[in-house]
Amino acid sequence: MSIFINKNVCNGCGKLKETLCERICPGDLLFRNAAHKAEIRSQADCWTCGACVKACPVQAIDLKLPSQILKSNVSLRAQCKKQHTVWEIRNGNGIKEEFVIPATTGNEAK
């Protein structure tokens, strides 16, 4: 699998016309299913670009490697803050690494 959508966390982006991950996926792979949750139509078509991971407002999506064992706790998440992107990587031993990286100078909001 390439992304894992945690159904317990995903809120289907409430009343938005489309979920934010659906809105952004460059491959048009995500959609809102009958249970009002985001779903990927084909794991094999995913590029693992992480656009959905960054777009999710409730951090319900983890980036996964296609080769990754499904139940492993290894994960990568990203949160887009105003001018930074915060990354959280967990390895198999539960060790967490965090990166806070500048993402914009803020000029585009002007």
Partner 1 sequence: MKEISTVKLDTDILIIGGGAAGCMAAIEAKKLDQSIKCVVMEKAHIERSGCLAMGLNAINAYLTTGQTPETYVKYVKDEFFGIIREDLVYSIAKGLNESVRQVEELGLPVEKDQNGDYMSRGKSSIRIYGERLKPILAAAVNRANVKVLNRVVATNFIFDGERVRGAYGFGNRDGKFYVVHAKVVIVTTGGATRLYKPIKTGDARNTTWYCPWNVGTGYAMGIRIGAEMTSFENRFIPLRVKGVNAPTGTIAQGSDIRQRNALGEEYLEERYKHLGGRKCLSLYRLLATLQEEKAGRGPCYLDTTCLSVEEEKKLKEVYLNMNPAIVLLWANEGYNPRKRPVEIGGMEPVVIGGHCQAGYWIDGERRTTISGLFAAGDVAGGAPKKYVSGAWVEGKIAAKAAVEEIGKIELLHINGEEVNKEKERIVCCMNGREGISPEELERNLQEIMDEYAGGATAHYELTESKLIIARKKVKELEGKLGLLSAGDKHGLVSCLELIDRFDVAKVLIEHLIYRKETRWPGFQIRTDFPERDDANWLGFVNSVYDPVEDRVIIIKRALKKENEYLYK
Interacting residue ranges for partner 1, rule: CB under 8 A: 1-2, 18, 23-29, 41, 43-51, 55, 63-68, 72, 74-76, 78, 80, 85, 87, 89-93, 97, 99, 101-109
Closest CB to partner 1 among 36 and 47? 47
Question: Closest separation between CB of residue 5 and partner 1, Å?
Answer: 15
Q: Which two tokens stand for residue 24?
A: 């952004």
Closest CB to partner 1 among 10 and 87? 87
Question: Closest separation between CB of residue 28 and partner 1, Å?
Answer: 6
Closest CB to partner 1 among 1 and 11? 1
Output the CA torsion sign for 83, 98, 19, 12: negative
Contact status, residue 28 vs residue 45, Cβ threshold 8 Å: no
Nearest Cα neighbor of 40 from 23, 28, 50 is 28
Instruction: Output the CA angle 88-18-78, nearest 5 degrees.
Output: 5
